[in-house]
Structure formats: structure tokens, C-alpha cells
Amino acid sequence: MSIELIIGILNIVLISTTPLVFAGIGELVTEKSGVLNLGLEGLMLVGAVTGFITLVITGNYFYSLFLSIISGVILSGIFAFLVLNLMTNQIATGLALTIFGIGLSAMLGKKFGGTPINGLNPYYFIVISFLLVFFVAYFLSKTKTGLIVRAVGENHNSAYALGYNVIKTRYLTIIFGGVMSSLAGYYISICYAPMWQEGMTAGRGWIALALVVFATWKPWRLLVGAYIFGGVAIMQMNLQAIGVKLPGQFFNMMPYLATIIVLVFISSNKLRLKLSAPSSLNIPFEKNQ
């Protein structure tokens, strides 16, 4: 293998893995505070279409990025209101958010499918994604606010008794997660495959969700996991192109399979489960308990 070939492969791996890092690190923070948001796919699609439409209309990358982020704030804000204030079931609400996002993005983008645009250089986002993982890892382990987020996620009643505002903390982490998903979507429709087509995220939101579990809720492991998923996908393409016979379907399900194996591994031992998953994950918080 020549150096150029290897650099080329690394380049493709970087470009294709970045949306997983964005969506995954956002969801990791949300889940660390004890909220499971299954709406990533919907958030990504709406972020992708909002950015795309704004870019087509204004021709301005800054506006398109800004509105894409705003779409994430609004949608995840609605999700937060439903699950935190109205205490709806997080799983059902998250699924509803995905379905809503798929439909809404298709409706918004109807007139814009097939409009050619000039894509943005992906390298800005790749650099930001690495910085983001560093920032989140530092935030969760080394800062006081990060500790509060984790406390809220581990035991919201104790955190509340200590005087922390559980609802406010969760609002912020949900919105952070939503914005990261929007950025992932924005990256897909503006940098990765510069176009808008219905359902173009093609299940990456679900892979990002699996990734958080695969990483056992640890930021650096999430980065490594994302690059394992992305790297394996690109390597199998390279092997196919060389002429090696591979079971392609197997590689499509690999992220989910790997996640199930990790789940089985961490669930086999109560202590291990406790050390990995936030204890209050998916449990609604009632103030007057």
C-alpha cells in the first residue's frame, strides 16, 4: 500500500465519521443527565434541511449554520418541555420526534430537492468535532457544572435535595444534544454529500444512539467507537474494491451487533452496569417526591 492510498483512506474515514461524533457526543451529554432522546434521526434531518434551504435562499453559510442550530434548539426544546414538564414517556416522545422530523424535513424540503449547491469544506467540522470531544470530556469530569450534570443523571432526587435544579440542568443538556444533532445533519447536507434529499441521513441517528451505549457513556471511548464504526465501514469498501469477497450485509449491521455485545457485557454484572449507565436514565423526575 502506498502512502497516498493510506492518506486517502484516512481522509474518507474522517469525512464519513464526523456526523456520528457530533450526534453521539450530544446524546452522551443528554443521557449523562438522565434523559434518553431517541429523536436524533429527526433532529438531524430537520437540521440538514433547514441549513440547506437557508443556504439556497441566502447563499450565506453563516445564516444557514445559525438557522440549522436554531432548528435544533426549538425541536429539542419542545422535546424537553414534553418529557420534563409534562413528564411524557421519553422513549415514546423521542420516537415521535424522529417521525415528526422525518415528515417535517420532507415537507420543508419538497421544493429544494435537487437544487445544486456549493458544499462547505468538511475539515472545519472535523477539527471542531475533536475539540468538542475534548471539551465534553473535560466538562464532565473536571468542572463543577459537569459534576452537577452527572449527579442529576445518577440520582435526581439526591441532586434535587442538595439544591440543584434538575429540570434546568436537563433542559440545557437536552438542548445541547439537539444542537449537536442539528450540526450533524447540517454537516451531512452541506459538507458530506452537499444536497437535500428526503431521509438522506439514512439511519445515522440510530447508529449515534448505539454508539453512546457502545462507548459506555464515556466521551473518549465514544470518539474511538465512532472511528471504529466509520473505519470498518470504509475498510470493507476498500477490500471489496480490491476484490476481496465480504458479507456486505454483515457490515451494515455491525454497529448494532457490537453495541448489543457491549450491552450484554455491561449488563452481566450489576456493579459494571452501575459504573457505566447513568442510574436515572429514562426515569421521569417529579419535584414533590
Partner 1 sequence: MLRKILTILSFLAVISVSAVHADQKKIGFIYIGPPGDHGWTYMHDQGRIYMENALGDSISTTYIENVPENADAVRAIRKLAASGHDLIFTTSFNYMDQTLEVAKEFPDVKFEHATGFKRMDNVSTYSARFYEGRTIIGHIAGKMTKTNTIGYIVSFPIPEVIRGINAFYLAASKVNPDVKIKIIWNYSWYDPGKEADAANTLINQGADIIVQHTDSYAPCQAAEKAGVLAFGQASNQEAFCPNSHMTSIEDIWGPYYAAKAQAVVDGTWSSEDTWHGFKDGMVEMSPYNTKLLPLNLILEAKNMETAIENGTLHPFEGPIYNQAGELVVKEGEVADDGMLASMMFYVQGIDGEVPQ
**Hey, what's the cell of 117?**
449547491
User: Taking contact as CB under 8 A, which single stretch among the options 59-67, 101-109, 146-154, 165-173 is the one that binds partner 1?
Assistant: 101-109
Sign of CA dihedral 20, 23, 29, 30: negative
Task: Check binding of 113 to partner 1 (CB under 8 A).
Answer: yes
Contacting partner 1 (CB under 8 A), which of 59, 199, 269, 286?
A: 199
Q: Among 14, 16, 43, 214, which residue interacts with partner 1 (rule: CB under 8 A)?
A: 16
* Least distance in angstroms from the C-beta of 46 to partner 1: 16
202: number of Cβ within 10 Å: 12
Grid coordinates given for 59: 447563499
> Computed over its alpha carbons, how large is the radius of gyration of the chain?
19
Nearest distance from residue 150's CB to partner 1, in Å?
A: 32
Q: Given the complex with partner 1, which of 30 and 98 has the nearer CB atom?
A: 98
Residue 89 touching partner 1 (CB under 8 A): no
| Residue 281 CB, nearest approach to partner 1 (Å) | 22
Q: What are the b/e assignments for 56-65, b being 16+ CB within 10 Å?
A: beeeebeebb
Cα separation values, 210 from 43, 55, 63, 203, 206, Å: 16, 31, 31, 11, 6
Using rule CB under 8 A, residue 200 touches partner 1: yes
Residue where the block lists cell 442529576:
152
Cβ 270 to partner 1, closest distance in Å? 31
What SS3 state is found at 21? helix
Residues that bind partner 1 (CB under 8 A): 5, 8-9, 11-12, 15-16, 19, 95, 98-99, 102-103, 106, 109-110, 113-114, 116, 119, 188, 192-195, 197-204, 233-234, 237-238, 240-245, 247-249, 252
